Structure 1
Amino acid sequence: MRSKILSMLFVMIGFIANAQTTEQEVAIRDIIESVAENLPDDYDITELVEVLSRYRKHPINLNNTSVEELKTLVFISPLQISNFFVYMKANGKLLDVYELQSIDGFDVKTIENLIPFVTVNTIPEYENFKLSNLFAGEHDMMVRFAQSLEKQKGFTDLPGNRYLGSPERFQTRYRYNYSTIISAALTFDKDAGEKFIGKPFDFVSANVALFKLGKIKKLVAGDYTLQFGQGLTLWSGFSFGKGPDVTSVAKKDLGLRPYTSTNEYSFFRGAAATINLYKNFDLTPFVSFRGLDASQKTNAAGEPVQSTINQTGLHRTPTEIKNKSSLTQSVYGMALQYTKNEFGAGAIAYQSYYDNSFITQTALYDKYSFTGNKLTNLGLFYNYTLKNMYWYGEIGKSINGGIAAINGVLISLSPTVSAAVTYRNYSKSYHNFFNQGVSESTEAVNERGLYAGLNINPNKHWAFSFYGDYFKFPWLKYRVDAPSKGYEILGQAVYTPTKTFKILARYKRENKQQNTDLNVPVKFLDNVIKAGYRMELRWQLNKNWMLQNRAEVSQYKKGDAKREFGYMIYQDVDYSPLFARLTGNIRLAYFNTPSYNSRIYVYEDDVLYSFSFGMYNGKGFRSYLNLKYTLAKKLNLWLRYAVFIYQDAETVGTYLDEINGNKKSEVKVQLRYQF
């Protein structure tokens, strides 16, 4: 049976109609893959995909842009943005995009990434908007269906906890844009296992946003995100951390933005605006009211209390449904910003209120966690460009709690070398529900660290990246019953001899401490070492065919235990004839990892607006096929089939997600109409 499946997969490579890789889609995919692998495994990157897709269709006019607009381009650094405006101020408008080569810090790779998304031509805007022109904007409607083909344990007739809904996943989204002055978004989403009867969609998100209304720069009603400073005091939605591009350690705050993702936790719901008070001063007041999921119990007085907030957004079992929106959250506050030339600064003050109180959990490592039902947060942030250096930082304070601070600098050492240095110090008692500062942990709390990195681009063919991060955790952590420390290093080299061929080599090593697995009276800490080795080749054979190969080795060792080695290899084939109605791509991968500890995460192509990482764990094969068919000029259909086939396995998954057998497969269908 297995040989037949593999034979079919190889035949599909030969007979696949086309590949889903037009020139613009390849450009977007490359950028997404370079940054997305540094995000949490379940992070929704829809927002990033939408931004890049829109700029590909409507490029940024570099001669009429702003700092905030350029910050949305994830592959350019704050120092490059600052140098860009210094150059424009001194030399006037650009005559050609390639004039960017004259600006300090703009290497060939950065310019190549920019070209698909920018222009220097004048782009007219519909500044004189009238209601009669409402339907003259751009409308984008998408419907998606997905389902696992094998039956999971949670869908069987089990006593007690089980999935009460159907196994299908549905998503419907509508987007509207009228130039750059009006936008609207409506999203419906149902996860597998959630009920489809009564209320078809478990999650509904909507907003309307207006821009450039005189003194009112931005106004959003509905769901929105706020991103200020370096993420210590107030940051929701999309965020980057450490990655091969060392300058990504400096966050690019975007302030107020309408929310368009399907993540059911990381957003505000209410209204917010950015108002120009006077010259260089902007004020962003905001208010938010929403229900959060929380596991609650009753205290001695008979009042409901909780210790944590559930962030998964899943409502499948009786317990998850009971916890849905059980905690009311109210947030109100404001951010004041000052920006002039190469200097920017801001202050944030807001309060979050909960109708039930948080209590301390019994575990000792949670001793300093937040308690009560009201939390006030204050913050100050700055950035300043001095010649070839971009200084930045933020300090955050939670009332009745600790302080968190981060300071850093990006330095353009030469036209081909840039450096980043950052120091962070986060108190163990710093409390914040909207904290996404750079850290080794999932939250910027209970951590001190020093990060240093280099980007070296000696010519258009070679690019090197190196960074090291040393960190300490002054207080206990989950599975770490003592103060601990560790480090992380990365080295990467990319060789591009021609526009059609690229080789990448990467080494990453992480050393942390964790409670020993030995059965001893008093737990001590063992060093836990994780390392990864990657080699990747991409070859554009001609206008139609592209091949990509990757080999990756993972290494895991804890204390004196035997070292684990896992590995994964894959072959991608893309075929995309020019002007073809049907395109597609395929992957065939083999992986072998001794345990979950040596698992390998790999980026996977998917239907539009749905990018993901596959977790390759155990021993077996992974394959997927993506097809895109243009039904009409503005009507597109996507199909995807993906399958894991495990060797020497009787079941796949755990608990309610367990499947009898050695196969786990999924089908996905998506329809998009633009008008």
Structure 2
Amino acid sequence: MKFWVFHIILAVTLCAKCSFAKSQSNDWRSYLEQLAEEGMDDTTIENMFQELTMLEGNPMNLNRVSREQLEQFPLINFEQAAHIAEFLDKNRPVYTVFELRNVSFLDFKTVELILPFFFAGKAEEEQPTVQEMLSRGRHEVQSRFDKTLQSRAGYGEFADSILQRYPNRKYRGEDFYTSMKYAFTYRDKIQFGLVGEKDPGEPFLQKNYPVGYDHYGLHLIIRELGKLKTLAVGDYRLSFGQGLILNNDFMISKSWGTNTIIRRTQGPKRHFSTAESGFFRGAAAVFQAGKITVIPFYSNKRFDANLSRDGEITSFKTDGYHRTPSEIEKKNNSREQVTGVNINYHNEQLQLGVSGVYHAYSRMYCPVVREYNYYSLRDSSHFNASIDYSYRLNRLAFAGETAVARNGATATTHMIQYTPSGLFSLSALYRHFPISYNAMHAQAFSEGSRVQNENGFYLGVTFSPLQKVSATTYIDLFRFPWPKGQVDKPSAGFDFYFLGTYAMDRNSNFELRYKIKQKEQNTDYPENSRKVLPYNTQKI
């Protein structure tokens, strides 16, 4: 399900395969469009769009914003957040957002990118009443309707005898897509939202399906209630440490992440996407006492699964489609409960965290045994624990996490970032995810889609050798020590990316991008022989 806003590409492709971007070149929407072009999945793009849209509509007060809020802002890195916080501590009150241009280590492009998310307001903290917050809050309604002009086979007419024999040939619903979203926000203090969605082919307000939309979502997030910093109820996303045991928040791509690879534990965020998987449903809270923060959470959510004849879960069904009798039968046929906690200590330089996550399914999870998934989890419950850290020393920043699964398998990732000036940044990351490590809600910086069966080293550089010239490049070397799907033996590869930008004026950029990735996969030869050979993909 492609997200409609990213179908409009603002860059014009030239015959030389370079791009010339004009007007709003530093707008955050252009960055998301670039990530969409580079293949980032639609759910991540939509989550990022919803999050940044909310932040833009409720900008942060430079005279009140905290270091923790800056560190969680997705468009700047750990080092930049620290320098902004130090600048504000020394220069408050500030009188205009353009004073951010005086922050060291912030280049002009980054300042232009983040300006819409801040304002210079009163330094005194306001204490509005509930009635004032409700009257001053922002209401937003989004509605979408799509209908294909070309008829598809699933919407045709079939004889009753055919449907009795092949009941899944016909969709039970109409051939249109529709969704509705309502949101109420008061700055970052209150967020309330309701989501409803129906995919093409799903029933809508029919006699046997009177509930309307196929999928509903609801969330309420309240912040700054004394020591209770955040309370989230309903649908939310959460991230601990570097994501080795828990992260269903969005992940930044490698090209964006050349200087943003260091993550910090994130408090609960609203899930305002139409995606029907990849989030929690329950409650989470953030308690803070001095330099100690505690984040407990609980989720109790039904989900779709493919079942064996014995009623065991063989795989998860995440596409969200409920069009045919077989798809409708799988809707919410299983349940997952997840609970956990993160406890972390933090000051201006150091952050240390300890996390634990336990989850249980209502059925046994037992995927069909294949060589590539031989070490996958086969149980109805699982537990993970981890220790994470981040430390800033002058122009160096360090971070990492080490996690352990119930079977004793240990995964680890560590990174370092060196930023001598706003014109140069060097980032390096090492990761080791053994094949026997399982974490069902993990998502970390990696080439593969799971935190499992991967070793890798990443090196990224961002620099501006001239006033109007900047470049971003990275190389990622990775190895999969165990066979993967469609790869019958251990394999390896690399990923290289280069982006050069020339700013002709404030609103016009000339960009040159080049990307090459090499991986290995099975290749069939004559006489039924099979080999694993490297293959390349290049983009310019």
- The CA distance in 2 between the partners of 1:317 and 1:401, in whole Å, is 42
Give the secondary-structure state (helix, strand or coil) at the position aligned to 2:200. coil
Q: Which one of the candidate residues 266, 269, 279 is aligned to 1:254?
A: 266
Is residue 273 from structure 1 mapped to residue 285 from structure 2 by the alignment? yes
Tell me the residue number matched to 2:17: none
What is the CA deviation profile of residues 476-526 of structure 1, one whole-angstrom value per residue up to 9, with x for unaligned ones? Answer: 100000000000101110111112321111110000011112145553211
> Which sits farther off after the overlay, 153-162 or 484-493?
153-162
Tell me the residue number matched to 1:671: none
- The CA distance in 2 between the partners of 1:34 and 1:75, in whole Å, is 14
- The CA distance in 2 between the partners of 1:520 and 1:394, in whole Å, is 48
Residue 422 of structure 1 aligns with an amino acid whose one-letter code is: L
Tell me the residue number matched to 1:294: 305
Give the secondary-structure state (helix, strand or coil) at the position aligned to 1:308. strand
Q: How does 1:550-565 map to 2 (within 5 A)?
A: none
Is residue 179 from structure 1 mapped to residue 191 from structure 2 by the alignment? no
Tell me the residue number matched to 2:360: 353
Q: How does 1:61-80 map to 2 (within 5 A)?
A: 61-80=61-80
What is the CA deviation profile of residues 447-480 of structure 1, one whole-angstrom value per residue up to 9, with x for unaligned ones? Answer: 0000001001234411101100000000010000
- The CA distance in 2 between the partners of 1:329 and 1:463, in whole Å, is 47
- The CA distance in 1 between the partners of 2:257 and 2:338, in whole Å, is 34
Deviation at 1:40, TM superposition (A): 3.4
Q: How does 1:41-52 map to 2 (within 5 A)?
A: 41-52=41-52
Residue 79 of structure 1 aligns with an amino acid whose one-letter code is: E
What is the CA deviation profile of residues 192-232 of structure 1, one whole-angstrom value per residue up to 9, with x for unaligned ones? Answer: 11111222111100011211000100011111111121111
Tell me the residue number matched to 2:462: 455
> Which sits farther off after the overlay, 193-202 or 456-465?
456-465
Change (3 A) 1:22 1:108: closer
- The CA distance in 2 between the partners of 1:383 and 1:94, in whole Å, is 29
Deviation at 1:138, TM superposition (A): 1.7
What is the CA deviation profile of residues 323-353 of structure 1, one whole-angstrom value per residue up to 9, with x for unaligned ones? Answer: 1111110111211121111111211112100
Change (3 A) 1:26 1:191: farther
Given that 1:28 and 1:49 are in contact with CA atoms closer than 8 Å, whether structure 2 keeps it comes out as no
Is residue 384 from structure 1 mapped to residue 391 from structure 2 by the alignment? yes
Tell me the residue number matched to 2:198: 190
Structure of greater relative contact order (alpha carbons < 8 Å, 6+ residues apart): 1
Tell me the residue number matched to 2:4: none
Given that 2:294 and 2:342 are in contact with CA atoms closer than 8 Å, whether structure 1 keeps it comes out as yes
Deviation at 1:81, TM superposition (A): 0.9
Aligned length: 508
- The CA distance in 2 between the partners of 1:295 and 1:497, in whole Å, is 54
Give the secondary-structure state (helix, strand or coil) at the position aligned to 1:365. coil
Q: How does 1:313-462 map to 2 (within 5 A)?
A: 313-400=320-407, 402-462=409-469
- The CA distance in 1 between the partners of 2:67 and 2:378, in whole Å, is 39
Tell me the residue number matched to 2:7: none
Residue 120 of structure 1 aligns with an amino acid whose one-letter code is: A
Q: Which one of the candidate residues 451, 468, 492 is aligned to 2:499?
A: 492
- The CA distance in 1 between the partners of 2:356 and 2:212, in whole Å, is 38
Deviation at 1:308, TM superposition (A): 1.7
Deviation at 1:87, TM superposition (A): 3.6
Residue 186 of structure 1 aligns with an amino acid whose one-letter code is: L
Residue 74 of structure 2 aligns with an amino acid whose one-letter code is: V
Is residue 168 from structure 1 mapped to residue 179 from structure 2 by the alignment? no
Tell me the residue number matched to 1:232: 244
Residue 201 of structure 2 aligns with an amino acid whose one-letter code is: G
* Superposition TM-score, scaled by structure 2 size: 0.88
- The CA distance in 2 between the partners of 1:57 and 1:365, in whole Å, is 46
- The CA distance in 2 between the partners of 1:173 and 1:125, in whole Å, is 31
Residue 149 of structure 1 aligns with an amino acid whose one-letter code is: L
- The CA distance in 2 between the partners of 1:459 and 1:61, in whole Å, is 33
Deviation at 1:101, TM superposition (A): 4.3
Is residue 84 from structure 1 mapped to residue 91 from structure 2 by the alignment? no
What fraction of aligned residue pairs are identical, expressed as a percent? Answer: 28
Tell me the residue number matched to 1:107: 107
Deviation at 1:244, TM superposition (A): 4.6
What is the CA deviation profile of residues 151-182 of structure 1, one whole-angstrom value per residue up to 9, with x for unaligned ones? Answer: 11222246532322111111111101123322
Give the secondary-structure state (helix, strand or coil) at the position aligned to 1:507. strand
Change (3 A) 1:188 1:115: same
Tell me the residue number matched to 2:30: 30
Change (3 A) 1:270 1:22: farther
What is the CA deviation profile of residues 226-275 of structure 1, one whole-angstrom value per residue up to 9, with x for unaligned ones? Answer: 11211111111322231155123333542212221111101111111111
Residue 106 of structure 1 aligns with an amino acid whose one-letter code is: L
Change (3 A) 1:76 1:522: same
Residue 45 of structure 1 aligns with an amino acid whose one-letter code is: I
Change (3 A) 1:133 1:439: closer
Tell me the residue number matched to 2:53: 53
Given that 1:68 and 1:254 are in contact with CA atoms closer than 8 Å, whether structure 2 keeps it comes out as no
Tell me the residue number matched to 1:154: 154
Residue 250 of structure 1 aligns with an amino acid whose one-letter code is: I
Residue 389 of structure 2 aligns with an amino acid whose one-letter code is: Y
Deviation at 1:24, TM superposition (A): 7.9
- The CA distance in 1 between the partners of 2:62 and 2:301, in whole Å, is 39
Deviation at 1:36, TM superposition (A): 4.0
> Which sits farther off after the overlay, 280-289 or 98-107?
98-107
> Which sits farther off after the overlay, 473-482 or 336-345?
336-345
Q: How does 1:477-488 map to 2 (within 5 A)?
A: 477-488=484-495
- The CA distance in 1 between the partners of 2:296 and 2:180, in whole Å, is 31
Tell me the residue number matched to 1:662: none
Given that 1:71 and 1:253 are in contact with CA atoms closer than 8 Å, whether structure 2 keeps it comes out as no
Q: How does 1:612-627 map to 2 (within 5 A)?
A: none
Give the secondary-structure state (helix, strand or coil) at the position aligned to 2:465. coil
Give the secondary-structure state (helix, strand or coil) at the position aligned to 1:193. coil
Given that 1:38 and 1:242 are in contact with CA atoms closer than 8 Å, whether structure 2 keeps it comes out as no
- The CA distance in 2 between the partners of 1:57 and 1:129, in whole Å, is 21
Unmatched 5+ stretches in structure 1: 1-20, 534-675
Change (3 A) 1:231 1:141: same
Is residue 211 from structure 1 mapped to residue 211 from structure 2 by the alignment? no
Given that 1:61 and 1:118 are in contact with CA atoms closer than 8 Å, whether structure 2 keeps it comes out as yes
Residue 81 of structure 1 aligns with an amino acid whose one-letter code is: A
Give the secondary-structure state (helix, strand or coil) at the position aligned to 2:305. coil
Residue 249 of structure 2 aligns with an amino acid whose one-letter code is: G
- The CA distance in 1 between the partners of 2:276 and 2:298, in whole Å, is 18
Given that 2:23 and 2:507 are in contact with CA atoms closer than 8 Å, whether structure 1 keeps it comes out as no
Tell me the residue number matched to 2:530: 523
Residue 224 of structure 2 aligns with an amino acid whose one-letter code is: K
Residue 219 of structure 1 aligns with an amino acid whose one-letter code is: L
Residue 220 of structure 1 aligns with an amino acid whose one-letter code is: A
- The CA distance in 1 between the partners of 2:418 and 2:101, in whole Å, is 18
Change (3 A) 1:237 1:148: farther
Deviation at 1:38, TM superposition (A): 4.8
Residue 29 of structure 1 aligns with an amino acid whose one-letter code is: R
Q: Which one of the candidate residues 493, 498, 516 is aligned to 1:509?
A: 516
Give the secondary-structure state (helix, strand or coil) at the position aligned to 1:313. coil
Change (3 A) 1:480 1:22: closer
Give the secondary-structure state (helix, strand or coil) at the position aligned to 2:254. coil
Residue 180 of structure 2 aligns with an amino acid whose one-letter code is: T
Q: How does 1:652-663 map to 2 (within 5 A)?
A: none
Change (3 A) 1:38 1:251: farther
